[in-house]
Amino acid sequence: MKFVSFVVCALVSVFGASMSYAQSVWVAGSMPRIGPSDAPGSANFNGISRMATEKQSEPREMSFEEFAELKKAAGAKASELEGSVVDVTDERATAEFVGGVLSRHGRVDALVNTVGGYAGGIKLWELETKVFDAMLSLNLRSGYALARAVLPAMLKQRHGAIVNVAAKAALDHGAGASAYAASKAAAVAMMDSLAAEVKGTGVRVNSILPSIIDTAVNRKAMPNADFTAWPKPEQIAQVILFLCSENAAVIHGAAVPVYGN
C-alpha cells in the first residue's frame, strides 16, 4: 500500500519582522480541506488533510489543484510557495525530498505535519489488519519519517520547531476507533520522547490535539451536530502558527488540546 502526500515549503517570514532572515516553513498536508469524516463504519484514508490514498494518481491531481488555490490566495506572496508530492511514509523518498529542498534553500525553520487518516465505527475483532497498518502508516510513520529527515538540519542550525497534528482521540479512546486512537496516542508519545531528546538544542517539538474539525466534509457526515462547538481550520492554523513562532519559545514537549467550545 502506497501513500502520497503534498508538502508545501513556504519561504516567508512568518515569525515576525524582527527576524533577520527568511523562514523556511514546511507543511506536510494538502489544502485547504482539513478533517476526517467520522461517519460510523467509515475507513477514510484521505485523512486529516485529504492527502493520502491507495492510488497515487488521485492525490496528485487533487493536491496540485488545491495548491493552485493556495497560491492564488497568497496573492503577491505566491512565488514564495513551493509544492511537491512525496510519500512521507517512505523514509528514503522523504529524505531525498528534504535533501533537495535543503540544497536549494539551505535551512528548515519549521515542520508542520498534518498527515493522517481515520478509520472508525469498527470493532477491534472486525478490523482488517490492512486498516490497522494504514492507521499506523498515516498517523505514526509519517511523523517519524518527516522528523528524522529534518532533524539533522535543525540540530546543525540549533533552531527549529516541529508541530505534529495528532487528535483528541490520542487521549479520549472511544469505542470503535481502536486503530485510530492507538496510532494517534503513539504519535503523541513519540513526539514527547523526541522533545526530551532535543531539549537544550534550540529545536522545539510539540503536538496539537484537535477534536472534530468544522469542515464541509464533517458537516455532511454529521448534519445534526452542533457545528459551533467544533474548532475551525483557521483557528487550528493560528495555534500551529503560534507554536512555530518565537512567541512560543518556552513551549516544548506539549500536547495542546484544540477541542473547540
Give the residue numbers marked as catalytic.
180
109 vs 145, 230, 252, CA distance in Å?
A: 17, 30, 15
Q: Where are the beta strands (DSSP E) in the chain?
A: 5-11, 24-28, 43-44, 81-86, 110-113, 118-119, 160-165, 203-210, 255-258
Q: Alpha carbon 113 to chain centroid distance?
A: 3
Cell of 8: 508545501
Distance CA 124, CA 247 (A): 42
Distance CA 30, CA 8 (A): 8
Distance CA 155, CA 64 (A): 31
